[in-house]
Structure 1
Amino acid sequence: MLSDLETDGFLCHRATAAPIEEFVVYGERSSGTNVNKKVIRDVYGLRPTKAYGWKHGAPSFFAASARSLFVVSLRDAFDWCVSMYAKPYHANEEVRSYDFDTFIRAPWLSVMNAPEPHGLEPRLYKNQVLQPDRHIIEGRTYRTVFEMRTVKMRSWLGLLNRGVNIAIMRHEVFQRDPQGYASRIAAGFGLTEKRPFKTPDYIFERRPVTETRRAHAIDRLPHNIEYIRSQLDHALEASVGYAVQPDRAPMSREN
């Protein structure tokens, strides 16, 4: 089944005949989850649901509705780590203080530091360990962001074995042709357009500090290619169509 994803960057698997009414998007930070959610919600009128856990964590649910669609967004590791450094959401203050070289070699330490911590009482949960960013079996801190990437990617690809309606795509496919991507989602799951397609605007405001961090990461990336390659699961990356030897500069200008 992964062969479509490897060659085409896009995979749809419909497991139920029921009309699709709601959806959830999974993917690591800076992997296109927000723009995916915006397109599916705005164009096709599907209802986002929080019934299946946090979008940046491993799937967590008792049972899946026959009317739910699971969407997984993946991104090239080299672009992704640049964007993760530029916008280190949920990272603690120590991790945020690192230069790029240290950031990609350090354990990933994250806390519940959102202004409104996902509906939880700030007085009780603010700055507590973000548990979905711990190893999903062992409970320990991930040794690097790349170990976290590998484990979470395996958990999302595992949805293919859970009998759910699922679409998986490489974010680069969306970036090249967002309307074409939306049309393929619609064709795969019998969705009808509720509003005309509109290319989504950039989701987050560009801030000087973010662009300074991004420029630093892009500058340092060529000096860290071999290290990054050593941290990736080559077979896993290849199975979804990613080369572990980049032949270009990173795209990381979006998300």
Structure 2
Amino acid sequence: MTVCLGPDGLVCHRATSASIEDFVVYGERSSGTNVTKKVIRDVYGLRPTKAYGWKHGAPSFLSASKRTLFVVSLRNALDWCVSMYAKPYHACDRLRSLDFDEFIRSPWLSVMNAPRPHGLERELHLDQVLQPDRHPIEGRPYQTIFEMRTLKTRSWLGLLNRGVNSVVIRHEAFQHDPKVCAKRVAEEFDLSAKRPFKKPDYIFKIRQEIEARRAHAQERLPHNMDFIRAQLDPKLEKAIGYDIAAL
């Protein structure tokens, strides 16, 4: 199935006729996964499931239920890399210490440093390599966050070819009008509203350290545009609605 996210920023593929009961959201960090999950859960009463692996990793599951909806949330590369620098979740200490210019040019090295490591025994897994952030075939770290973006995006778009109920949403379209996006998904998958739509609140608390890092990244962004453009796959970015030549 050829992927092309048009002006509405959304594409749906219904693979089964069964009623949808649960859902999973995939997407890279800082790409709108949490707020998208919140709207689908709160408005339509679907049950989030962790049966299909880590939401920030490439899909890896044995089989998919015909009653599950797979949702992918994508974001433009510029806002995304700024947010990745501002909130470098799971990044190792050395990577966190770099300035923006070095950060986007360095291999992505991430470790299991979550307070509650996904049901795993903390003492055994703390600071161990976060495997879904490694190249899925070669096992090496991604050379840059942009290589990670490209490969993971391809893997998530591949859900449209796996015979599962799936929807891909461009986060900017969701931000512009979350109610319209949610309604479109509901129409495609016969979801009934359980609660009135309420504009979602911001998920994360604003912290001084995060905003200082964000300001630094935004200040340095214009000085790194040639490098960022060279790192991105223009055909892939165009297919999901981003023209890197216009960045």
With the shorter chain as reference, the TM-score category is over 0.9
- The corresponding residue for 2:163 is 163
Report the Cα offset of residue 243 of structure 1: 1.1
Output aligned runs, 1:10-25, within 5 Å: 10-25=10-25
- Give the CA deviation at 1:2: 4.6
- Which residue in 1 is equivalent to 2:5? 5
Distance in 2 between residues matched to 1:4 and 1:147, nearest whole Å: 21
Segments of structure 1 that go 5 or more residues without pairing to the other structure are: 248-255
Q: Counterpart amino acid of 1:234?
A: P
Letter in 2 for 1:88: P
Indicate the RMSD between aligned Cα atoms, in angstroms: 1.0
Partner of 1:123 in structure 2?
Answer: 123
Alpha-carbon contact 1:100-1:220 (below 8 Å) kept: yes
Q: Name the counterpart of 1:180.
A: 180
- In 2, the alpha carbon distance for the partners of 1:162 and 1:237 equals 21
Contact 2:29/2:84 (8 A) holds in 1: yes
Residue 212 of structure 2: aligned partner: 212
Q: What is the number of equivalent residue pairs in this alignment?
A: 247
Distance across 1 between alignment mates of 2:6 and 2:14: 19
Q: Are the equivalent residues in 1 in contact too, given 2:4–2:241 (CA < 8 A)? A: no
Name the CA distance, whole Å, in 1 between partners of 2:115 and 2:102: 27
**Structure 1 residues 128 and 14: alpha-carbon distance in aligned structure 2, compared to 1, 3 A threshold:** same
User: Which whole-Å CA distance do the structure 2 matches of 1:52 and 1:60 have between them?
Assistant: 6
Name the SS of the counterpart of 2:69 in structure 1. strand
Matched, 1:67 2:67: yes
Aligned partner of 2:223 in structure 1 is 223
3-state SS of 1:8 partner? coil
Displacement of 1:37 in angstroms is 0.4
CA displacement 1:33-69 (0-9 Å, x = unmatched): 0001000000000000111110000001000100000
| Identity value in percent | 70
Q: Which residue of 2 aligns with 1:253?
A: none
- Give me the TM-score of the superposition, normalised by structure 1: 0.95
Distance apart, 1:5 and its partner CA: 1.0
Note the alpha carbon deviations across 1:192-238, whole angstroms, 9 max, x for none: 00011111100000100000000000000000011000000111101
Give 3-state SS (helix, strand or coil) of 1:169's partner.
Answer: strand
1:84 counterpart letter in structure 2: M
CA distance in 2, matches of 1:138, 1:4: 28
- After TM superposition, what 4+ stretches of structure 1 lie above 4 angstroms from structure 2? 1-4
1:62-211 equivalence runs, <5 A: 62-211=62-211
Aligned-pair CA distance for 1:4: 4.8
Summarize deviations over 1:156-208 as a string: whole Å, max 9, x none: 01111100000001000000001111101100100000011111100000100
Q: Deviation of residue 9 (structure 1)?
A: 1.1
Q: Is the Cα–Cα contact under 8 Å of residues 3 and 157 in structure 2 kept in the other structure?
A: no
Change (3 A) 1:246 1:206: farther
Deviation at 1:8, TM superposition (A): 2.8
- 8 Å Cα contact 2:26/2:55 also seen in 1: yes
User: Residue 36 of structure 1: SS of its match in structure 2?
Assistant: helix
CA distance in 2, matches of 1:212, 1:119: 32
Task: Give yes or no for contact 2:22–2:69 (8 Å, CA) kept in 1.
Answer: yes
SS of 2:188 mapped into structure 1:
helix
Question: Does the residue aligned with 1:114 lie in a helix, a strand or coil?
Answer: coil
Paired with 1:178 and 1:160, the residues of 2 have a C-alpha distance of 22
1:136 is paired with a residue whose SS is coil
The amino acid that maps onto 1:226 is D
Q: Which whole-Å CA distance do the structure 2 matches of 1:186 and 1:137 have between them?
A: 36
Q: Is the Cα–Cα contact under 8 Å of residues 6 and 238 in structure 1 kept in the other structure?
A: no
